[in-house]
Amino acid sequence: MNTTPSAIDIRDLTHRYGLRVALADLTLQIEPGEMFAILGPNGCGKTTLFRLLSTLMRLQSGSVYVLGKQLPQQSDEVRRRIGVVFQSPSLDRKLTVGENLRFQAALYGIRGRALVQRQQELLDHLGLADRIHERTEHLSGGLRRRVELAKGMLHRPSLLLLDEPSTGLDPGARTDLWRYLEWLRDEHQVTVVLTTHLLDEAERADRIAIFSQGRLVALDHPEALKASIGGDSITIRGQDPATLRQAIADRFQVTAKVIDGHVRFEHPDGAQILARVMEAFSDRIQSITLGRPSLEDVFIDKTGHRFWSHGEDDAAT
């Protein structure tokens, strides 16, 4: 019997800002050594969860254990064992890369040979070795993001929490970031938990939790999530989409929806059903597209709207 506790164990977690529910009855377990993505549009509750896990806010209801330690009772022990990289910059821009890392090391009592070794390892892996004496104010946004990551990993945490880690990174830097995160997971068994609103980024995780309006709406491996929606995705633009949706549903016995003025449905054989739909309703169709299942299709299937279609304010969540 495996007695190793989950890296994160959340039970019945609810958090409110006044009357607004940011997280609703969330239950979720993240296993040690897992690369885990919390995916959702702005306002879905992922940043609130990040703040709770990083001990920046106190729980209102429910229970949370991080690395086997209960929040908020054992918050100090949790802080010593986690690394956190915030979306907002935390660097002192007037200090060099090396000085920023040394100040971070001092917070954890890291000095001497251990500091030199860890600093060099991180700078090498993050492509910063030649920038150690450069002030961070002179670095590009992507390079500053890498220094943030180095700070978060300097004390060798068991759990790394990343809030929108690709913010400010160009495609090449994003690729380098993911290589490093995968190296941490594979070589050092670090549990990596990140929040993101980037669908392609989330697909690189071992598992994805999809959030919408404070609720967990889907949880699984990326391929399993896409396979769950039942086939290829068909999107149709035409006149009077509500009437067209009903006609297609009745004729072909499919569950069709109107999403942002377009008729959408899934079918195991998309090419075959597309031809039949065009033959039956060609005079009412302006355009029709066929696509393989995507994470956005999963989001639409679970919520009834597109990933970016609802403009919630993310100021608190």
Do 51 and 164 belong to one domain?
yes
196, 225, 254: which is the final residue of a domain? 225
Residue 3, domain member (yes or no): no
Residue 100, domain member (yes or no): yes
Do 104 and 65 belong to one domain?
yes
* Residue 112 pLDDT greater than 70, yes or no: yes
What percentage of residues in the chain have a pLDDT greater than 90?
66
For 72-110, the pLDDT digits (tens) are: 999 999 999 999 998 888 899 999 999 999 999 999 999
Do 264 and 217 belong to one domain?
no
Do 46 and 188 belong to one domain?
yes
Residue 24, domain member (yes or no): yes
Longest dimension (CA), the chain: 76
For the chain, what is the mean pLDDT? 90
Please list, in sequence order, all residues whose beta carbon lies within 8 angstroms of the beta carbon of residue 262, skipping any fewer than 6 positions away.
235, 236, 237, 241
197, 225, 253: which is the final residue of a domain? 225
For 146-187, the pLDDT digits (tens) are: 899 899 999 999 999 999 888 777 788 788 888 888 988 998
Instruction: Classify each residue of 122-146 as buried b or exposed e, where b means 16 or more C-beta atoms within 10 Å of its C-beta.
Output: bbebbebeebeeebbeebeebbbbb
**Which residues are registered as beta bridge partners of 65?**
9, 70
Strand ordering across the sheet containing 35-39: 82-85, 159-163, 191-196, 35-39, 207-212, 215-220
**177 compared with 15, residue with greater pLDDT:** 15
Question: What pLDDT score was predicted for residue 127?
Answer: 85
For 20-39, the pLDDT digits (tens) are: 999 999 999 999 999 999 99
Number of H helices, E strands in the chain: 11, 14
Question: What pLDDT score was predicted for residue 171?
Answer: 82
Do 216 and 233 belong to one domain?
no
Q: How many domains does the chain have?
A: 2
Do 213 and 274 belong to one domain?
no
Do 208 and 233 belong to one domain?
no
Residue 162, domain member (yes or no): yes
Bridge pairing between strands 257-259 and 20-30: unpaired
* Residue 314 pLDDT greater than 70, yes or no: no
Contact present, 277 and 285 (Cβ < 8 Å): yes
Bridge pairing between strands 207-212 and 35-39: parallel
For 200-247, the pLDDT digits (tens) are: 889 999 999 999 999 999 999 999 999 888 788 899 999 899 999 999
Q: Which of 36, 53, 34 is nearest to 45 (CA)?
A: 53
167, 198, 225: which is the final residue of a domain? 225
Do 146 and 88 belong to one domain?
yes
Do 93 and 205 belong to one domain?
yes
Do 65 and 144 belong to one domain?
yes
- Distance (Å) of CA 316 to CA 7, 20, 22, 213: 26, 10, 8, 12
Residue 311, domain member (yes or no): no
| Domain interval for residue 153 | 8-225
Q: How many CB atoms lie within 10 A of CB 220?
A: 15
Bridge pairing between strands 82-85 and 285-291: unpaired
Do 145 and 278 belong to one domain?
no
For 38-73, the pLDDT digits (tens) are: 999 888 999 999 999 999 999 999 999 999 999 999
Residue 308, domain member (yes or no): no
Do 47 and 103 belong to one domain?
yes
- CATH number, residue 244: 3.30.70.940
**Which residues are registered as beta bridge partners of 216?**
211
